[in-house]
A = this chain, B = another copy of it.
Amino acid sequence: MDADLGLPVSVPSTALFTDHYELTMLQAALKAGTAGRRSVFEVFARRLPDGRRYGVVCGTGRVLDAVENFRFDEDVLRFLRSRGIVDDPTLEWLAGYRFGGDIWGYPEGEVYFPGSPVMRVEGTFGECVLLETVILSILNHDSAIAAAASRMASAAGDRPLIEMGARRTHELAAVAAARAAYIGGFASTSDLAAGFRYNIPTVGTSAHAFTLLHDSERDAFRAQVDSLGRGTTLLVDTYDVAEAVRTAVEVAGPELGAVRIDSGDLLLVAHRVRRQLDELGARNTKIIVTSDLDEYAIASLAAAPVDAYGVGTQLVTGSGHPTASMVYKLVARAESDDPGAPLVPVAKRSTGGKTSIGGRKWAARRLDESGVAEAEVVGTGPVPEALADRQLLVELVKGGEVVAREPLDVARERHRAARARLPLSATQLSRGEPVLPTEYVHGGSGN
C-alpha cells in the first residue's frame, strides 16, 4: 500500500475494482468445491432510464482492457492478507488468476433495450464472479454517457458537439465520458487526458478569467489573436456582448474564427450576434454556444444561427440519468460438479421485483421489409433461421484472449448506423416507451 500515491490512483491492477463479497463468495465456493462449475453470467438492464427510447452499449473496449489487466499481484495479495479478507487457499488461487473464459457481447456503439443480453461472460463460477463489479462499473457509466451523447447528437444534427464536462465529474470518469461522448456522436473534447489516452481531437476557446486578467477586453482579445491567430475563438460575454463582438472583429478582422457565448438567452443573443457579425463583414465567423446545454436546449436552438455546441454538465451526468442500471446475473451453470455436466438455466424467483430470465441467451434485431428495426428478439436454444444473420452478440474474448479490439471510430460509426436503422420515433426527445419491444423466444434448456 503506497500511501504516497498521488492522483490518479495508480492501482496496480484492475483486480481491485472488485467488491469484497466477490472474493468471499469465491472462498466459500472453493471450499465447497463449486467454484469450478461452468457458469454463464449475463449483463442486462431491466429497463431503460425513465422515458428513454433506446440505450447505447458503451465501454466494451474498456472492459476488454480491464479483463486483460485483471491480476492479483503481490501488492494486492498483501493487502487482502493483511485485512484478512480471504483465507490462504483463496489467496493462492487468486495469485494464479487469469480469466480464461469467453465473453460475448453487443459490439460497442450498438443500441440496446430492456432485457437485451448486452454481455455474456462464460467460464468457471470463480473466474466469472470476480469480474462483476469492474464490468458493471464500466458499462453502467460509459453507456449512460453515450446514451445522453446520442440524444444530443440527434438534436444537434450536422452541427458539431464539443464535450467540455471534465470539471463536472471525477477526473478519470471525465476521460471515459469524453470517450463515450465521441462514440455517441460528439466531435471533440476539451479534456487533454482524453486526447492523450484515446486520441480524440481536443479543442478549446477561452475563459472569462483571461479577459479579466487584462486591462481591457481589447487587450485580452489582442493577446489571444496575437498568440493563437485569427482563427481563434473569442469569448464575448464577459462585459457587454455587442461591444465585445465589435472589438473582436476590429482586433481579428473579418477572418475571426469564432465567438463563444456562455450566458444569457442563447437564442436571442445568437441571432443578434449573427446579425452584428454579418454587418461587420465577418460572415464566416462561427458562433459557438455553451452554458448548461442539454439535448432539449440544443434542439431549441436548431433554428438559431449557431455553428457548434459545447456541452458540459449534462453530458457527463448522463442528462438526468448518470448510470445505466445494468446488472450482472448468473443465468446458467453446470448441473453438477462433473466436468462435462450440461448447463441448466437459473434465476432468482422471489416475489418483489428483480426477477430475471434464466438461460444462456442469443439476441437478434428483427427488421421490417423496409429495413427498419421492429423488435429486439431474445431467446434461449436454437436461433430461428430468419434471424440467424441478424444476431447481435459477437465474440469479444475467447479462452481468455481478447479477439475484438477496434478503433474508436468503428464504434462511433456503428452507433450512427444502428441509430439510423431504428424507427424514426427513436430520436424524439419526448419521454416515451422503448422504441423497440423486446420479445422472448424460449427455445431450449439454456444450453
- Within the complex, the shortest CB–CB distance from A320 to chain B, in Å, comes to 9
Also in contact, A29 and B348, with CB within 8 A (given A11-B196, A20-B202, A133-B166): no
Find chain B residues with CB under 8 A from A173 CB.
Answer: 141, 169-170, 172-173
0/1 interface trace, chain A 214-238, chain B, CB 8 Å (1 if under): 1100010011101110001000011
Find chain B residues with CB under 8 A from A171 CB.
Answer: 14, 17, 66, 133-134, 137-138, 141
**Which listed residue (B215, B322, B329) contacts A209, Cβ 8 A?**
B329
**Which listed residue (B5, B24, B140, B239) contacts A169, Cβ 8 A?**
B140
| Pairwise interchain contact A212-B7, C-beta atoms closer than 8 A | no
**Which listed residue (B10, B39, B133, B197) contacts A213, Cβ 8 A?**
B39
| Pairwise interchain contact B237-A6, C-beta atoms closer than 8 A | no
Also in contact, A170 and B172, with CB within 8 A (given A83-B195, A212-B347, A227-B32): yes
A244 closest partner in B (C-beta): B350
| Pairwise interchain contact A223-B32, C-beta atoms closer than 8 A | yes
Find chain B residues with CB under 8 A from A87 CB.
Answer: 227
Total identical chains = 2
A79 closest partner in B (C-beta): B196
Cα distance, A95 to B40, chains bound together (Å) = 51
Find chain B residues with CB under 8 A from A333 CB.
Answer: 212-213
**Which listed residue (B68, B204, B262, B269) contacts A23, Cβ 8 A?**
B204
| Pairwise interchain contact B350-A237, C-beta atoms closer than 8 A | yes
Chain A positions within 8 Å of B, measured between CB atoms, are 1, 5-11, 14, 16-25, 27-32, 34, 37, 39, 41, 62, 65-66, 68-69, 76, 79-80, 83, 85, 87, 125, 129, 132-134, 136-138, 140-142, 164, 166-176, 190-193, 195-197, 199, 202-210, 212-215, 219, 222-224, 226-228, 232, 237-241, 262-265, 269, 291, 313, 316-317, 322-323, 325, 328-330, 333, 336, 346-354
Return 9 A-B CB contacts under 8 Å, by A number. A6-B66, A7-B62, A23-B192, A24-B227, A140-B169, A141-B173, A208-B329, A213-B333, A238-B349
